[in-house]
Amino acid sequence: MIELDVLRVFCGPDGGGGNPLGVVRDGAAVPDAAGRAALAAELGFSETVFLDDEARGTVDIHTPSSRLPFAGHPLVGLAWLLRSLGRPPRTLRPPAGAVEVGFEGDLTWVRGRAAWVPARTTRRHASAAEVDALPAPPPGEGWLYAWAWQDEAAGVVRARGFPRRGDVAEDEATGAAAMLLTHELGRPLDIGQGTGSQILTRVHPDGSIAVGGRVRRRTP
């Protein structure tokens, strides 16, 4: 039997939105790469994360069609889940490198580097309404993060994420893309993505970027 936790990551302030995430806390229950790929494809979430060594924080992240070196929403979700179980991690270790974890009230933060983000395009639009009007997915190839300022002075952004790889039409909330956009703009952001999700970001003096948000368990 595989024990699976299903969460919503990067929920809005009202608890709505959030990107579904599958968490397998006992990675040994699915030890081989083929089995993990098959489970991630069966679940169909934008990502499923396997915890292989809780003491070291070693994790393995899969989309329905590939394995990722780094992704924001699986790490935020897993960190929140472990904290809810009374075991808050200080560090998680996806293949890309060591990710520092922090907690502030109901926000969970993970800190990494834009260089770890798999290749994707960020495209600025003239208005939030223009972003909202995009089809899911827009024509073209390759991962697209479409965004527009809602309040540039305050750093408030409207965004939508499109993997454009055939398995997920639109990503509800995408920590890695938020990290990349933050790196490009060089400032902290408050990103409203998808149907009601919120992603917060910070830039640190060493060039690393933190992404944070709220997490809830998904109800049936």
Predicted local confidence at residue 50, as pLDDT = 98
Residue 199 tokens read as 């992603």
83-103 b/e (C-beta count within 10 Å ≥ 16 → b): eeeeeebeebbbebeebebee
Residue 167 tokens read as 């398995």
Helices (H), the chain: 33-43, 72-84, 128-132, 175-185
The torsion defined by the Cα of 109, 112, 116 and 118, in degrees rounded to 10, comes to 20
Predicted local confidence at residue 166, as pLDDT = 85
Predicted local confidence at residue 1, as pLDDT = 82
Contact between residue 9 and residue 19 where contact means Cβ atoms under 8 Å apart: yes
pTM: 0.96
Residues of the chain with pLDDT under 50: none
Predicted local confidence at residue 113, as pLDDT = 97
Helix (H) or strand (E) holding 107: strand 107-112
What is the bridge-based pairing of β-strands 121-124 and 144-151?
parallel
Angstrom distance (rounded) from CA 211 to CA 220: 27
Contact partners, residue 183, CB within 8 Å, separation at least 6: 114, 203, 209
Contact between residue 138 and residue 144 where contact means Cβ atoms under 8 Å apart: yes
Predicted local confidence at residue 167, as pLDDT = 87
Whole-number Cα distances in Å, 111 to 6, 62, 172, 212? 23, 19, 20, 9
Residue 138 tokens read as 């827009």
Angstrom distance (rounded) from CA 173 to CA 176: 9
Predicted local confidence at residue 162, as pLDDT = 97
